[in-house]
Structure 1
Amino acid sequence: MTMNPDTAAAVPVQALGLGHFIAQADAVGKTLLVVLLAMSVVSWVIVAIKGLTLVARKRRSAAFLNFFWNATSLDAVAHEIATHGAKDPFSHLTSHAMHAQAHHAKYGAAKLEEAGSVGDFVTRTIKKVLDEETTRLENGLAVLATVGATAPFVGLFGTVWGVYHALVAIGMSGAGTLDKVAGPVGEALIMTGLGLAVAIPAVIGYNWLTRSNRVVLSKLDAFAYELHTFVSMGQPLASSEAAAPAAAPSVRALPGRPAAA
């Protein structure tokens, strides 16, 4: 039986593809595929976790700011934080600023880090909290930036490696026609496409999170200025001896800073 020339030509073409490329890949090619897969999983996990955290943080921050600006006094704000805890950057900053004011008013400048006036001590505390929040918001973004920058090159290296082996195999077989060259070379280009498929979502996620964090930090910095003014006015907190210890367990401790008594 004579096979149709079109059918004979279609058989090797249908055999080509991602599955055939993976099956024919050597240890280097398979390692690069695993690396790209790991990069993709890590970047998607980071974007998903930080995206959900960002949405929850925005909702909690909006609720706290609405309460803060409608509160009758700092006593009510302290009670709110002591009751529900500091679960967003704005309540975290407010809690530490009020604790710093109460601590300095009660104990004075007992140590070098507490030197200066109440305003100076509150200012240093606010700056430490802002640095802490900046670090927390930027956590994981370096991984996204690395994936976005290196994934295309990993895919390109896989393409170069695949093209090299394909050309060597073609040269050894002695068949240099276009149909024999285009298939293996086209398969090798799959690695470049995979590298771009990994890098593009990572870059988009990085830019989105960076922009969102910049907006949050800008609002937090403006709020810190207003908060410093309120706290430095010297308004006494009612029942500060009882309110401060109650709020302390709900507040993240600053590195190198003892909890307020």
Structure 2
Amino acid sequence: MTPTADSTLGFGHFIAQSDGVGKALLVLLLLMSAASWALILAKGLAQALRSKRSTEFLNHFWNASTLDEVRAEIATHGARDPFSHLSAHALHAQAHHARHGAAKLAEAGTASEFITRTIKKVLDEETTRLESGLTTLATVGATAPFVGLFGTVWGVYHALLAIGMSGAGTLDKVAGPVGEALIMTGIGLAVAIPAVVAYNAFTRSNRVLGGRLDAFAFELHSLLTLGEAPGAGRPASAPPAVAPLKAVTA
């Protein structure tokens, strides 16, 4: 086969020979790839930033002498991570209930119950925020190989039709069209694999962070309601050598 013929049996030739369905499937795969990579980069950057800010806040929290210092830290730098967000709402709930009591149905119950409901609500909000975008990654990872496979089947079908009409079924006539059609399967896998890997990585990271948040929420609730940390040991989110805080009544 001459170099000119080799150059014609490439990806560009496949695109040129594809019909509307094949080109539409290729565009769909490219859009799926762009969406998944945008999510991977955005969530990866957000995860790294969240981890850094969480570490900074937890170091300040467990080294503070009173909860008033924690309040001042949040007021100065804002709630920029899940742990500071949880602390800000819990501290506000404690102060609000101490000042106004159960003035509304939403505030019914003891201070401990009101703080517990507030903490659960914030945990649900953080879980929802962490899981945003994962459905898209899962969908891309699950469907991209089948989209590519459909494109391959469609391309092979048209290649076989062309071969049948020309009457030439030799290997050199079949290899080019069929090989070009198989490109769609490769593209589908190239789109799906990064999405699946990223989905698994983000899911595990969210699970670990959720466990740390639960442990921190238990400690925070004890500090706000009992005035001391529980004696069962430090949570995973706290440095083991730091003494527990003394709660300050709002």
Confirm or deny a common fold (TM above 0.5). Answer: yes
Gaps of 5+ in 1: 1-5, 241-261
Q: Distance in 2 between matches of 1:217 and 1:87?
A: 16
Select the residue among 155, 160, 166 that pairs with 1:173. 166
Select the residue among 44, 53, 58 that pairs with 2:46. 53
Gaps of 5+ in 2: 228-246
Is residue 41 of structure 1 aligned with residue 34 of structure 2?
Answer: yes
- Matches of residues 117-156 of structure 1 in structure 2 within 5 Å? 117-156=110-149
Aligned to 1:208: 201
Q: Distance in 2 between matches of 1:13 and 1:75?
A: 74
Q: Distance in 1 between matches of 2:52 and 2:248?
A: 30
Displacement of 1:176: 1.3
* AA of the residue aligned to 1:168: L
Summarize deviations over 1:148-196 as a string: whole Å, max 9, x none: 0000000000000000000001101111112111210111000000000
Aligned to 2:186: 193
Aligned to 1:22: 15
Displacement of 1:14: 3.2
For the 8 Å contact 1:13–1:183, the answer to whether it is kept is no
For the 8 Å contact 2:36–2:195, the answer to whether it is kept is yes
1:87 alignment partner, SS class = coil
Select the residue among 88, 91, 96 that pairs with 1:98. 91
Displacement of 1:236: 3.8
* AA of the residue aligned to 2:190: A
Displacement of 1:11: 4.1
In percent, how many aligned pairs have the same letter?
70
Q: Distance in 2 between matches of 1:202 and 1:18?
A: 24
Q: Distance in 2 between matches of 1:91 and 1:206?
A: 26
Aligned to 2:235: none
Select the residue among 86, 111, 115 that pairs with 2:79. 86
Summarize deviations over 1:124-146 as a string: whole Å, max 9, x none: 00000000000000000000000
Q: Distance in 1 between matches of 2:77 and 2:133?
A: 28
Number of residues paired by the alignment?
A: 231
Q: Distance in 1 between matches of 2:248 and 2:197?
A: 47
Summarize deviations over 1:209-252 as a string: whole Å, max 9, x none: 11111111110110000000001126444xx5xxxxxxxxxxxx
For the 8 Å contact 2:152–2:184, the answer to whether it is kept is yes
Aligned to 1:112: 105
Displacement of 1:24: 0.8
For the 8 Å contact 2:66–2:248, the answer to whether it is kept is no
Aligned to 2:156: 163
